[in-house]
Amino acid sequence: MAAKLSHRREIQGLRALAVLAVITNHLFADFLPGGFLGVDIFFLLSGYLITGQLLELSTAGNLARNLLNFYARRIRRILPSALLVIWVTVGLAYRYLGPVIGNETLRDGRWSTLFFANSHYNSLKVDYFGTGTSSPLLQHYWSLAVEEQFYIVWPILLLLIVLLFRAGSSKILLAVLSVATVFSFISIFTIEQALTYFATQTRIWELGIGAIIALVGSKPTPKVVQWIALIILVGSLYFIDLDNQIPGFVILPILLGTAILLNVSDNRLKIILGNRVMHYLGDLSFVLYLWHWPIIELHRQLGTSELTTSDSLSLLVITVLMAVITHHLIENPIRFSKYLASHPGVTVVSGSAALVLSVLATYFFVKG
């Protein structure tokens, strides 16, 4: 179920749409002002897919073994590419932007490696929508931090509830998710507004909605509703901009549209979301997201003027090339390694060692 769920063509298409929206917003902001909402689409998809995988694991065999397998898959999926981009970005920062920015990027890389980049950037009062100033080269790791924090806590909680409340576990899980989702949404309006964009507590509700859908099951809606959902989703990317409160009520339509499109029955929509190009871009979505921001921001900080259309197209080509190379030479060989798949303990130990060494390296490589 896990593989089929995560690789259903409409879901791959939604992944592709989300990453294309984010990249387009960062390269052609005037054309797609709400493209940054692609991250919110990713949050819902992550909550849905991870919870679906966990529900299957909870019904099969030894829970401890299943939890080990789950974390081993997450490590193989995320860590190699994430660490690669961090260290290449740090090297480029030192090489082209000098020791001051290099040291700042190294520090950002430390918190990105620990999956606390979002809290780190909030502590620095970084403004995601700031204009006229340079942004951290690893700023986009904030969303990865939110997801990884969710991946660490939610699987343990879910499997514990299933273990302790076998018969009524579904109702308990639904109650826990509902309460967490409501409180997370309320927190948007109760904490300092400058902190809401990066904060974990203001984003859990988006992952929670996806998790609730996985728990209750996604069912096909009337075909006309599916088309309306796509129109709402795409329309949100065009009409929402940084003047709106993000996160907030304005995100609800795009999340509703995404939720409806999790189960597509209209054949024409299946072609739009599930064609080979969209499917491949969905496969590339993670590494596209990782590479796009440091490539764009490095060029911006080296330049003396605004990005031209030619600049943006060149940066897009470089991003795609780096993503394709990483996907085929790093991501897939490790992710689908038969040896690592059959030895989850080796994966967890190796991944943990890589994290420790990466963090330690951030203290040793500081330059004066």
- DSSP 8-state assignment for residue 72: H
* CA–CA gap between residue 45 and residue 362 (Å, rounded): 32
Answer whether residue 114 shows pLDDT above 90: yes
Question: Cα(59)–Cα(6) distance, rounded to whole angstroms?
Answer: 18
Q: What is the pLDDT of residue 145?
A: 97
Q: Given pLDDT bands bounded at 50, 70 and 90, which one contains residue 131?
A: low
- The whole-model pTM stands at 0.94
Sign of torsion, CA 314 40 115 80? negative
And the tokens for 37?
A: 């909402």
pLDDT of residue 5: 55
For 88, the 3-state DSSP assignment is helix
What pLDDT is stored for residue 368 in this prediction?
Answer: 67
Cα separation, 138 vs 67, whole angstroms: 30
pLDDT digits (tens, 9 = 90+) for 344-354: 999 999 999 99
pLDDT for 7 equals 55
- Which 8-state DSSP code applies to residue 329? I
- Please state the rounded mean pLDDT for residues 236-253: 91
pLDDT of residue 167: 76
**CA 222 to CA 96: how far, in whole Å?**
54
pLDDT band of 9, cuts 50, 70, 90 = confident
Q: What is the pLDDT of residues 188-221, one digit of tens each?
A: 999 998 899 999 999 999 999 999 999 998 888 9
Output Rg (C-alpha) for the chain, integer angstroms.
Answer: 20
CA distance 191 to 185: 11
Residue 1 has pLDDT above 60, yes or no: no
Q: What is the mean pLDDT of residues 299-320?
A: 91
The maximal CA–CA distance of the chain, rounded, in angstroms, is: 64
* Mean pLDDT, rounded, of the chain: 92
pLDDT band at 106 (very low <50, low <70, confident <90, very high): very high
Rounded CA separation 82/53 (Å): 22
- For residue 320, the model assigns a pLDDT of 98
Name the one residue in this structure whose structure tokens are 């981009």: 85
Cα distance between residue 258 and residue 232, in whole Å: 9
- Listed in sequence order, the residues at least 6 apart from 322 whose beta carbon sits closer than 8 Å to its beta carbon are 287, 291, 295
Residue 8's closest CA among 65, 37, 41, 48?
48
137-156 confidence digits (pLDDT tens): 999 999 999 999 999 999 99
306-315 pLDDT, tens digit per residue, is 888 999 999 9
> Is the pLDDT reported for residue 59 higher than 70?
yes
Query: Distance (Å, rounded) from C-alpha 253 to C-alpha 232?
Result: 7
Whether the per-residue pLDDT at 181 is higher than 60: the answer is: yes
pLDDT value at residue 3: 41
**Percent of the chain topping pLDDT 90:** 79
Going by C-beta distance under 8 Å and a sequence separation of 6 or more, which residues neighbour residue 358? 83, 86, 87, 109, 113
Instruction: Write down the pLDDT at residue 82.
Output: 98
